[in-house]
Chain A
Amino acid sequence: MLLDVTKIEAFYGASQALFGVDLSVAEGEAVALMGRNGMGKTTTIRAICNLNPPRAGAVKICGTDTKGKRPHHIAKLGIGLVPEGRRCFPNLTVHENLFAAARPGQWTLERVNELFPRLEERHAQMARSLSGGEQQMLAIGRALMTNPRLLILDEATEGLAPVIRQDIWKAIRRLKAEGLSILVVDKTLSELLPVADRCVILENGRSAWSGRPADLTTELQDRYLGV
């Protein structure tokens, strides 16, 4: 198993946010992490990356227990994170943002530029001057430049124009088709479900349901995802 999360518990200060989350991603699999706002999706991702290390339970990446490892070690184990909210290095150029993250592997500058031609057009531009969609492409490109074994996308299309969203989903579908393992958090079910091999739903910091997208009935959607 590429990623194996077992019964993790995480806290923000004294308040507990995760009460036992189970999650796994196999090689080449795309898993959708779902749930209403505040249910623990981003906290789970932060716990996997040890940005907010879990206080109980275990996270294993390719069999390696991540307990006590620093965030840069987690990245080196093969986790490529695209954090929520288009987090680029605003005062570096597009090229420098990608270059800084580069690690040897099949993902090179050329391939990222081919996936997102807009980035090539803007390569000398400062990241802060890009549109929201372009910044998101850059954040994905930067994660790919680390040549990850598992790409984690946290709300990658949130707040973007529909046309740009389509571009991002197109890229995600292509990455999946190429065999990259993906853990994706997104609210657009119509795009998310066709991409996912499996869904995991969180409720109140716990894994509440797990199964194939086809088994996610309208009733389940209303129960766990409706507002």
Chain B
Amino acid sequence: MMTLTRENLINLILAVMLLAVPFAANALGQPFYITLATRIAILALAATGLNLALGLGGLVSFGHAAFFGIGGYVAGILAAHAFSGDPLLFGLSGSKQMWVIWIAAVILSALVGLAIGAISLRTSGVYFIMITLAFAQMVYYFAISWPAYGGEDGLSILVRNQFPGVNTMRPLTFFLICYVVLLLGLGLFALIRASRFGTALQAARQNEVRVATVGIQPYRIRLTAFAISAAVTGLAGALFADLNRFVSPSMLSWHMSGELIVLIILGGTGRLFGPLAGAALYVIFEFALGGLTERWQFFLGLILLAVVLFARGGLLGLLAGKAKHG
């Protein structure tokens, strides 16, 4: 049973606050804040995916934008085909159903994650960072040069995709969908972290040879973790496309990969709610500082510097103390 540690209490407060803000905004007739909270939930989900690879496995992937963008393009392309009625591949038609899009985004991201991971994980350290970046840039330039789906201009989703029984065009409804998916993503992270697989993944991060001598192949568990991580980030990408009703190559750019890493560092690497804390901080900074100056990222840089220098455990480390795992 989960004990009420300080960290769990903070997690609970974060989860409740994220849920409360859109309801308050809805009551006050301020839908903008609902969109802000939805953005936090989706970015937190994307970063939770990366947290599996980076936080548990120590795999600093600088290419997770590829999966985020692939998820986005799956949503955009399926919706575009459903709208136009043109068949997709092998006689399959598009879809406006979110759950169909989610399944497709998860499967495609996981498969691309497997392919990228299978090659990247043969390297480590700075080479791993560079090779994941290179793969993501390949996907980015492919999207730019693909005129059928908007190329550099991106692809609009005319009407937000549907979910059975609810009106997804209502901001609060769409937020709730994203919130539940985020909770499921966090649940998956917690489950994996507590499993033998997750423990072995963390052990492999600490010492590869020692893990091998107890009969575990580090490469295989890392590849599995990388594919699951890609799938979760891909799912977030599909939701992000639906939030903006637009998908463009910017979702695939290396800035996005960097942003996801920044979210995790801000919140707390390897912590269950680190990505949510980081995403909340990031979006609030973006909103608050962005209103004051165009160069808000300069100030974010300063804050990131302070976190790296003085609060290595991120916001959660600062509030809840040192992580159990380091």
Contacts and interface: CB of A to CB of B under 8 A. Distances in A.
Binding partners A and B:
yes
B196 A99 contact: yes
B214 A142 contact: yes
A126 B206 contact: no
B84 interface: no
A146 B196 CA distance: 13
Interface in A44-92: 49, 51, 70-72, 74-76, 80-81, 83, 87, 89-92
A91 B210 contact: no
Interface string B201-214: 01100110111111
- A contacts with B: majority SS: mixed
A45 to B, nearest CB: 10
B216 A72 contact: yes
A103 interface: yes
B217 interface: yes
A21 interface: no
A100 B212 contact: no
Given A91-B325, A91-B326, A100-B200, A75 B214 contact: yes
A71 to B, nearest CB: 4
Contacts of B170: none
A100 B213 contact: no
A43 interface: no
Nearest to A90: B206
Interface residues of A, number: 29
Contacts of A102: 196
A50 to B, nearest CB: 9
Given A76-B215, A103-B215, A51 B209 contact: yes
Given A99-B196, A99-B199, A126-B324, A89 B206 contact: yes
B153 to A, nearest CB: 47
A146 B325 contact: no
A3 interface: no
Interface in B294-326: 324-326
Given A87-B207, A91-B326, A71 B202 contact: no
A103 to B, nearest CB: 6
Nearest to A101: B214
Contacts of B325: 91-92
A33 B203 CA distance: 29
A90 B196 CA distance: 17
A96 interface: yes
A143 interface: yes
Nearest to B323: A91
B202 A91 contact: yes
A100 B216 contact: yes
A81 B214 CA distance: 8
A90 B326 CA distance: 9
Contact of A92 (B202, B209, B218): B202
A97 to B, nearest CB: 8
A93 interface: yes
Contacts of B326: 91
Nearest to B201: A100
A89 B207 contact: yes
A93 B207 contact: no
A211 to B, nearest CB: 30
A83 B210 contact: yes
Interface string B164-187: 000000000000000000000000
B214 A100 contact: yes
A97 B212 CA distance: 13
B206 to A, nearest CB: 5
Contacts of B207: 87, 89
B215 to A, nearest CB: 3
A83 B210 CA distance: 9
Contacts of A143: 214
Given A71-B213, A72-B216, A100 B203 contact: yes
A142 to B, nearest CB: 6
A89 B326 CA distance: 11
A101 B215 CA distance: 8
B215 A89 contact: no
A51 B213 contact: yes
Nearest to B270: A91
Interface in A131-154: 142-143, 145-146
Interface in A117-137: 126
Given A100-B199, A100-B200, A72 B206 contact: no
Given A91-B202, A92-B202, A92-B206, A83 B213 contact: yes
18 contacts: A71-B209, A71-B213, A72-B211, A72-B216, A72-B217, A75-B214, A83-B210, A89-B203, A89-B207, A90-B206, A92-B202, A96-B203, A97-B203, A99-B199, A100-B199, A103-B215, A143-B214, A146-B214
Given A71-B212, A103-B215, A126-B324, 16 more contacts: A71-B209, A72-B215, A72-B216, A72-B217, A75-B214, A75-B216, A83-B213, A89-B206, A89-B207, A93-B324, A96-B203, A97-B203, A99-B196, A100-B199, A100-B214, A100-B216
Closest 10 CB pairs of A and B: A75-B215, A71-B212, A101-B214, A100-B199, A72-B212, A72-B217, A89-B203, A100-B203, A81-B213, A76-B215
